[in-house]
Chains A and B, each alone.
Chain A
């Protein structure tokens, strides 16, 4: 299972507490994980990626294994530790004013 950590505002929209666990078919990439997340929680569509371009929203970051994966290509494989469920794929609101 892929473990996904959502920021507080998105947990509230999705009506979940804590981590989300998703069954995702290989290859395990940003795109496949986010596709599975949005399929399970359609209320999150458009909040992480743009509805049309599917690009990451500017103030949303993707972290895993203590690395910033935000600028990795969406179809690049995620680290093995994320694919195995040892580490969570973290969706984070960037630090910004407000």
Chain B
């Protein structure tokens, strides 16, 4: 019988929640990496036993952890205990947390500043990894979205990381500016049909696409309208919160923006609003059903200054028409006095026949639905604030 493994990153450690295909009874294990901020935990689609973790702290910086056995044991890539501390060539190991911006003349344009909150130039400074996206085919290859916004890639299982510098260097980088949460690259979507095509999103610069495996990039923000920037339809500067796609239809993208829920049917060339009858179109995550490419989920949040659900009612909204027509999903969710938030990477869907939907809250609850959102139940209620949720569907 199939089972699911839910990977939860929180402000104070990682948790793994497991269940069988019924998704009624859950085993909760953790915290792993206790006391550290776990921005993201994600398994490789090519090898579900290979799991990568972004672990960080204000004191000690960034750490990358890796498991090769489905989460039973972990190590920092390149430094398992007992192994030599240098490579055969004499080079020091222990560089899995070394994220250095490319400034080389060959591949890294001499791009040294972006725009600071006050409009002045500010040097790029690595702060943390927000999102890890393992390759669809190769467990050794992973993309990392970082703050200050840049895209890195490892091809050796996380031992070393190199920037895909064409993104920052494509021309608009000097005008990017951080949102309130920092200037983070938080979304990485790999096109399952075209290995050269990658979509990414940055707060607050917008969405970008490469069609040559990361060498060159261009903004894909036509149709976005943002009243919080001087030119509401500018090429960059939009605070995109998250993008989602269904693997069977990678040219169709769904976006939750700072305000507005958007859709593109041409791989980001143009966007149109699909907020429809949502009670508010502010929010962070957006997710697509495991099998129905026109069924999408958002969690409306009252406003950019009040990061909690409207009226104290925690409601997931589902559209079965690819947007515009939305229905509230409330069964099993608190419908009074609820003032939690759901962050951009804190939703996930499984691929079981009856699609499971999951989300975590800043109040430490992780909710699951085993019937595509019709009803919900908490897996666990009192974790630290949840930063990310991913799910693996296992045989």
Contacts and interface: CB of A to CB of B under 8 A. Distances in A.
B54 interface: no
B360 interface: no
A69 to B, nearest CB: 18
Contacts of B93: 42
B94 A43 contact: yes
A7 B59 CA distance: 10
A42 B62 contact: no
Interface stretch (A19-27, A44-52, A75-83): A44-52
A15 B78 contact: no
Interface residues of B, number: 21
B248 interface: no
A38 B93 CA distance: 10
B34 to A, nearest CB: 9
A57 B60 CA distance: 7
B92 A45 contact: yes
B61 interface: yes
Contact of B60 (A9, A39, A42): A9
A42 B85 contact: yes
Contacts of B94: 38, 41-46
A9 B57 contact: yes
A22 B85 CA distance: 15
Contacts of A18: none
A51 B95 contact: yes
B19 to A, nearest CB: 29
B100 interface: yes
A51 B85 contact: no
Please report whether the interface of chain B is mostly helix, strand, loop or mixed according to DSSP: loop
A73 interface: no
A46 B160 CA distance: 13
Given A38-B94, A46-B98, A51-B98, A10 B60 contact: yes
B58 A39 contact: no
B210 interface: no
B76 interface: yes
Given A13-B63, A51-B98, A42 B58 contact: no
Nearest to B75: A43
Interface-centre pick from B62, B97, B100 (highest chain A CB count, 10 A): B97
Given A9-B35, A13-B76, A39-B92, A45 B98 contact: yes
Interface of A: 7, 9-10, 13, 15, 38-48, 51-52, 57, 59-60, 93-94, 96, 98
10 contacts: A15-B81, A42-B78, A42-B85, A42-B92, A42-B94, A45-B97, A46-B94, A51-B95, A51-B100, A59-B59
Interface of B: 35-36, 57-63, 76, 78-79, 81, 85, 92-95, 97-98, 100
- Top 8 A-B pairs, shortest CB-CB distance: A42-B94, A47-B60, A43-B79, A45-B94, A59-B59, A93-B59, A51-B98, A42-B93
